[in-house]
Amino acid sequence: MRIFLFMIIGLFLSSASIGMAAEKYEPVVRTSIDKNSVFIGDRIRYAIEISSEEDLDVEFSKFPENKIGDFEIKDSGKRTARSLFGKRVFSNWHAISAYSTGEHKIPSFEIRYRQKSGKDWVVKKTGELKVMVKSVMPSKEKVSDIKDIKGPIYFYEINWILMSGIIALLGFFILAIIIYKRRRMAPLKLPHEIALEELEAIRALLSRTGAVKEYYIKISDCVRHYIERRFILKAPEMTTEEFLNSLKDSTLLAVGQKSTLREFLVACDLVKFAKYAPSNAEIDSVFAAAKNFICQSNAIAYGTSL
């Protein structure tokens, strides 16, 4: 009887040890969140953990759309550690946020694992979790500072008195700018003023370079351009003979002016085309003739005296 009793106790102990061994090596899967009630846009730390006394190969679920249910994944990470009791803990965490209020569910997912020396994968499902997402706006207070978009302004709604004042001020401002710029602009020079300035510049050029022929060419062109600007005659495009013939019957110049102009142009042509070498007195004389012609013709044209 005692032998039979010992046999029963031995069988019980062996079966208990086998059950304990099986329970010892069975991995445990847990899911957790750090808060179950958040405001819209707040982050929640969602973690999936599997703990085992043995080293495992673990494959967590993947989220290709970067979403877990109604939640968007903002950050993720994995880690492996040992607990106080020597178990290995494999964890996969995600920082997630929701952007609509109400109760949301974090659905269950599959986890695959196997022992390092094993070949077959074991599949387990995580638990489902609930999260309450609240609005940041107070629920009992009426919002009064958010107004709807205004429609288009119709013709009769425009403040035409104010608009007319603005337009008038703008026009006055533009007119003031125009007047100011015109006052600052240099006054236009008359033909005889331009010609006299050119003569002085030609004489200064002669004193610097000593180029007599160039001096005669420029002083002749100066007088011709003056006649063109003053009397609207194409003097620069004519030869001396053509130009003098065109003035025979003209009333634009007096007889004395025509004679002075002829002597001046002939003297210039001698130096320009006949290689005549004028004296200093002749150079001064041709300058004086050009200046006197310009001043006299301008005085007669405007009825002033020299």
Pick the range with the lowest mean pLDDT from 76-90, 204-218, 284-298. Answer: 76-90
> Would the pLDDT of 300 be above 80?
no
The reported pLDDT for the residue numbered 16 is 47
Report the pLDDT averaged over residues 57-82: 83
| Pairing between β-strand 56-59 and β-strand 122-125 as defined by DSSP bridges | unpaired
Report the pLDDT averaged over residues 60-82: 84
The residue to which tokens 């010609």 are assigned? 195
Contact 127, 31 (CB under 8 A): yes
Distance from C-alpha of 201 to C-alpha of 195, rounded to nearest angstrom: 10
Buried b or exposed e, range 215-233, using 16+ CB within 10 angstroms: bbebbbebbbbbbeebeeb
Contact 192, 298 (CB under 8 A): yes
Distance from C-alpha of 298 to C-alpha of 192, rounded to nearest angstrom: 7
Cα–chain-centroid distance for residue 236? 53
The topology under which CATH files domain 25-134 is Immunoglobulin-like (2.60.40)
Angle at 304 between CA 301 and CA 305, to 5 degrees: 120
Dump pLDDT digits (tens) for 92-135. Answer: 888 888 888 888 888 888 888 888 777 888 888 888 888 888 88
Which residue has better confidence, 220 or 237?
220
pLDDT band at 302; cut points 50, 70, 90: low
Distance from C-alpha of 77 to C-alpha of 91, rounded to nearest angstrom: 8
Contact 114, 19 (CB under 8 A): no
Dihedral angle, C-alpha 86, 90, 95, 97, nearest 10 °: -110
Within 8 A by CB and 6+ apart from 219, the residues are 199, 202, 268, 286, 287, 290
Domain boundaries along the sequence of the chain: 25-134, 155-184, 191-302
Contact 52, 88 (CB under 8 A): yes
Report the pLDDT averaged over residues 66-85: 82
Distance from C-alpha of 244 to C-alpha of 257, rounded to nearest angstrom: 12
Contact 219, 202 (CB under 8 A): yes
The reported pLDDT for the residue numbered 219 is 92
Which tokens in the block code for residue 256? 């004395």
Contact 97, 43 (CB under 8 A): yes
Please provide the average confidence, as pLDDT, over all residues in the chain: 79
Residue of 76, 125, 74 whose CA lies nearest to 98: 74
Q: Coil, strand, or helix at residue 127?
A: coil
Number of other CB atoms surrounding residue 133 within 10 Å: 21
Dump pLDDT digits (tens) for 278-296. Answer: 899 988 999 998 998 888 8
The DSSP call for residue 237 is: G
